[in-house]
Amino acid sequence: MELKFLRNVLGIYNTQFKEGEIKKYYPWHFIWHGMTESERVNNGIFLECAGQGEFDIFYENKDVEVLK
């Protein structure tokens, strides 16, 4: 699955994600806020672990568009 950014997004460690950029999404298969990976994806929430328990969080139709 790939995510296309709908706007510029600043990540947790100042990572710049640019509008129009396409990023490969790699599932993070652990519980986060009581949700499994499949529950998060079904709710349009995409996590990228940035290390040290920090995450970049992208929301479908706000931050990203899902490209299958």
Question: In this structure, are residues 23 and 3 in contact, taking their beta carbons and an 8 Å threshold?
Answer: yes
Name the residue ranges covered by the structural domains of the chain.
2-67
Look up tokens 């706007």; give the residue: 7
pLDDT the model gives residue 56 = 96
> Residue-wise over 2-35: b if at least 16 C-beta within 10 A, else e?
ebebbeebeeeeeeebeeeeebebeeeeeeeeee
CB atoms within 10 A of CB 67: 12
Question: In this structure, are residues 44 and 57 in contact, taking their beta carbons and an 8 Å threshold?
Answer: no
pLDDT by residue for the chain (68 residues), tens digit each? 999 999 999 999 999 999 999 999 999 999 999 999 999 999 999 999 988 889 999 999 999 999 98
